[in-house]
């Protein structure tokens, strides 16, 4: 028994570790990984299906601010990532491909108010580039 323990100890000392030194090193993210949702305002029809199917009630359809109404859908899905379980049902049901799951998993926060994903004005700036 003792010999076996010593053998395993020596083996582990020379073998490659299973973990990586994150964040300086990272493992590839799988192709179908489900991270933070990305919303494409140009494709959204405000149908609300994503909100209806969400099992965690993480999506609320809200009015776009008046200054963005010309370029954005009437109502857009506001997602609370604090409630989201990343099941991907909202992406699956979206008829226009407006809502897709990205590979972004850097979502930890100490401030619960930052978990609500409001695309204004961040994505307006991105669209203008």
**Residue 23 CB, nearest approach to ligand SF4 (Å):** 25
Rounded CA separation 76/40 (Å): 10
Question: Is 115 near ligand SF4 (CB under 6 A)?
Answer: no
Q: Which is nearer to ligand SF4, 50 or 64 (CB)?
A: 50
Question: Is 72 near ligand SF4 (CB under 6 A)?
Answer: no
Q: Which is nearer to ligand SF4, 7 or 55 (CB)?
A: 55
**Residue ranges of the alpha helices (H) in 1-129?**
2-14, 49-53, 89-93, 122-128
Site string for ligand SF4, 8-47 (x = CB under 6 A): ------------------------------------xxxx
Spell out the long-range contacts of 67-74 with Cβ–Cβ below 8 A and sequence spacing 24 or more.
68/120, 68/121, 68/124, 71/41, 71/124, 71/127, 72/41, 72/44, 72/120, 73/41, 73/44, 73/45, 73/46, 74/46
Q: Which is nearer to ligand SF4, 77 or 111 (CB)?
A: 77
- Using the rule CB under 6 A, which residue among 64, 72, 78, 94 binds ligand SF4? 94
């Amino acid at each position: 028994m003792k010999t076996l323990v010593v053998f395993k100890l020596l083996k582990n000392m020379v073998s490659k570790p299973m973990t990586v030194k994150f964040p300086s090193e990272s493992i590839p993210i799988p192709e179908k990984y489900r991270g933070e949702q990305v919303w494409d305002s140009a494709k959204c029809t405000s149908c609300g299906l994503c909100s209806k199917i969400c099992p965690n009630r993480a999506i609320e359809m809200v009015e776009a601010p008046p200054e963005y109404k010309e370029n954005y859908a009437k109502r857009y899905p506001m997602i609370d990532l604090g409630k989201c379980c990343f099941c991907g049902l909202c992406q699956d049901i979206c008829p226009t491909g407006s809502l897709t799951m990205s590979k972004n998993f850097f979502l930890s926060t100490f401030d619960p108010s930052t978990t609500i994903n409001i695309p204004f004005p961040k994505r307006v700036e991105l669209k203008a580039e």
